[in-house]
Amino acid sequence: MKTRVLFNLIVRRYGLWIAALMIVLVTVWVVRSRRPDALDWQFVRAFGIRLPMRYGIHGIDVSRHNDRIDWARVRQMEADGVRLQFVFIKATEGATLADKHFEKNWREAKKSAMRRGAYHFYHPTRDPLKQADNFIRNVDLSTGDFAPVVDFEVVNGQSDETIVNGLRLWLETIEAHYNIRPIIYTNGNLYRRYIKGNLDEYPLWIADYSAKHLRSYNADKLYLWQHNQSGWVQGIRGQVDFNVFVMDEDRMQDICL
């Protein structure tokens, strides 16, 4: 009723067309003000960081830098309704290195009933086929696990062509072995220079600690967002990377075996 009275007052004072335009502008403002551009950030004291509460599936990623992990405590932790549901674990790096805690982390993460994924830290100066073989030798995936991840963070002075072609060879080799398209993890700058327009067919996991929204990335392929690298989790020493799954929950199977 109040809305109708307001509309009639505007019509009498400004005319029908002006009134209609004003109503449209107000409607747009209301819709935009309710959009989750701010992502419903909420500081969760137990985790020591703000979390984008628009998303319901939260997780972490770990490596040997996190030392020995008490996985039972990780899984039991819950704060402000948030429980960690998935973890990505570093498996390999370059052509020969394997993370010294991977086997235990991989085994214990499954026991704790967290959805798990394994990632490879990619070096553009190393042979992509040898790097793929390193990952394959060390990682056995099971139904429900995430697709393999290539962690692309460094360029090591290599040309754009070398980097893109090398990544593509690694990705294609891994896909042929595991029969699922791998996930690319990278930051915003590297995504825009090397991934966008070259490897758009692959699922994306983006590290962006300043984003208020994620519109600058391919919405059809963006599944995971690393939004903070300074969280705290019981059972893990030191700071931890935090992530969220940004698709609808039923899209999780797109990137899992």
CATH of the domain at 203: 3.20.20.80
pLDDT tens figures, 68-107: 999 999 999 999 999 999 999 999 999 999 999 999 999 9
Q: Grade residue 11 by pLDDT with cuts at 50, 70 and 90.
A: low
Q: Grade residue 18 by pLDDT with cuts at 50, 70 and 90.
A: low
Which residue segment(s) compose the domain that 224 sits in? 39-255
Q: Grade residue 158 by pLDDT with cuts at 50, 70 and 90.
A: very high
| Residue of 106, 136, 109 lying closest to 120 (CA atoms) | 136
Burial tier of 215 (Cβ tally within 10 Å: 0-12, 13-18, 19+): exposed
- Per the structure, how many domains does the chain have? 2
**Is 127 found in the same domain as 197?**
yes
**Is 62 found in the same domain as 7?**
no
Catalytic residue among 61, 99, 108, 145: 61
User: Is residue 37 a contact partner of residue 196, using CB atoms and an 8 Å limit?
Assistant: no
Alpha-carbon distance of 202 to 122, in angstroms, equals 16
What is the model's pLDDT at position 215? 87
Annotated active-site residue 61? The verdict is yes
**Is 14 found in the same domain as 86?**
no
Q: Grade residue 8 by pLDDT with cuts at 50, 70 and 90.
A: low
**Is 127 found in the same domain as 24?**
no
Per the prediction, the chain carries an average pLDDT of 90
> Is residue 1's pLDDT more than 80?
no
User: Is residue 229 a contact partner of residue 241, using CB atoms and an 8 Å limit?
Assistant: yes
How does DSSP classify residue 236? S
**Is 127 found in the same domain as 18?**
no
Annotated active-site residue 140? The verdict is no
Catalytic residue among 67, 78, 140, 153: 153
Which pTM was predicted? 0.85
Burial tier of 32 (Cβ tally within 10 Å: 0-12, 13-18, 19+): exposed
**Is 111 found in the same domain as 17?**
no
What mean pLDDT do residues 175-184 have? Answer: 98
> Is residue 212's pLDDT more than 90?
no
**Alpha-carbon torsion angle 246, 70, 114, 130, nearest 10:** 80
pLDDT tens figures, 92-146: 999 999 999 999 999 999 999 999 999 999 999 999 999 999 999 999 999 999 9
**Is 95 found in the same domain as 14?**
no
| Residue of 60, 44, 39, 40 lying closest to 224 (CA atoms) | 60
3-class DSSP state for residue 52? strand
**Is 178 found in the same domain as 58?**
yes
**Is 132 found in the same domain as 60?**
yes
